[in-house]
Amino acid sequence: MSDRGDGLKRYKVMAYVLSTGLWDTSGQVRAEDVLGIKDEEFERDLRQWQTLYDGQFKRRPYEFDWELFNELGRSLTERIREKLPPQTEVYYEPSDDREFFSPDECSDSSGSGVEGVNEVTLRERMRSLVHLGTLMGSKA
């Protein structure tokens, strides 16, 4: 599952484009799989938090309260941590996509008005490239 051989299970709460918001060492996971039971209230709150993240890509003008978003993420992390055995490590990966791009980079710079090139697509590409660079051990 998410055991690195030391008997400790590890999970992280991390927002990512269209994800579950909950990850183990192999990728994103469902809360029910981590908890071993269905916790509708927690799953709803985790889904709403992830939806906030996904929605920030669609805001024009771009405005997003990263402090509040990360506070909610830390709260979710504490809640899931309380539901799991002590030999389980759960941590929060803060988000602030302002470090990856500026809103000016998220427009069609050619001015061509190309159909399908929009703020959401360009932001997702930038975030994905940064994530891919992290997975491959390089800095983007």
Can you count the helices (H) and strands (E) in the chain?
A: 4, 4
**What are the distances in angstroms from CA 111 to CA 114, 120, 124, 125, 126?**
8, 17, 20, 19, 19
Residues 79-127 pLDDT 10s: 999 999 988 999 999 987 665 545 454 444 443 333 444 444 555 555 6
Residues 20-59 pLDDT 10s: 999 998 899 999 999 999 999 999 999 999 999 988 877 6
Retrieve residue 7's tokens. 């008997």
- From CA 95, how far away is CA 122, in angstroms rounded? 18
Q: Comparing 4 with 69, which gets the higher pLDDT?
A: 69
